Amino acid sequence: MISTLRVLLTEALAEHGETWDDLLRLDITTVTAEGIVAAPELVDAPLDFGFGGSADISFTAWTARSVYIDVGYDGKTDCRYVQRHP
């Protein structure tokens, strides 16, 4: 399945009654020869979220109620969340 981080996160936010307007912060990183670097431009990069190789992209998104993170297994990227308790 080809998708983007934006689509993945939009679906996760909607599932929990939140939208992009609720985001307080979004960090996207990738691995390069220089190490782990910020890569906000990858939010719309086409990525294969099926089984296979790793995308080498990670994200963490914060809202007032939740923290969303990427999780991966066997090359499949998914989004999970935990509730914040401020």
For the whole model, what pTM was predicted?
A: 0.80
pLDDT per residue as tens digits for the range 6-55: 998 999 999 999 999 999 999 988 888 888 888 878 888 776 656 655 56
CA distance 20 to 73: 26
Domain that holds residue 34: 2-83
Higher pLDDT, 75 or 17: 17
What phi, psi does 51 have (nearest 5°)? -75, 145
Residue type, 52: G
Which residue is it, tokens 């993170």? 69
Q: Residue 9 is encoded by which pair of tokens?
A: 């996160």
Residue 74, classed as helix, strand or coil, is: coil
Higher pLDDT, 86 or 9: 9
Total domains in the fold of the chain: 1
Q: Is 28 exposed, middle or buried (0-12, 13-18, 19+ CB in 10 A)?
A: buried
Q: Which pLDDT does position 70 carry in this prediction?
A: 85
